[in-house]
Amino acid sequence: MPRSSGALGFDGRSAPVALSRLTHVVAGRLAIGGLSLCLIVALMVVSIEVAMALPIPA
């Protein structure tokens, strides 16, 4: 089956650009997720330290 010269796909010229954009999007999302996780852990540690510093009600 012959292919048309304008057909795009894995062999097309736009595939590397799309793959590069997808890679950048995934890397950005992972970076945001990592920063969010660090922020959550830091807030949890601070809240535990504050809770431990409070006196126990008798």
**Is there a domain that residue 36 lies in?**
yes
Q: Per-residue pLDDT tens for 1-30? A: 555 555 555 555 555 677 889 999 999 999
Domain-embedded: residue 43: yes
Domain that holds residue 34: 30-58
User: Tens digits of per-residue pLDDT, 35-48?
Assistant: 999 999 999 999 99
Distance (Å, rounded) from C-alpha 51 to C-alpha 31?
30
6: DSSP letter: T
Predicted model pTM = 0.60
Q: Residue 52: inside a domain, yes or no?
A: yes
Q: Domains in the chain: how many in total?
A: 1
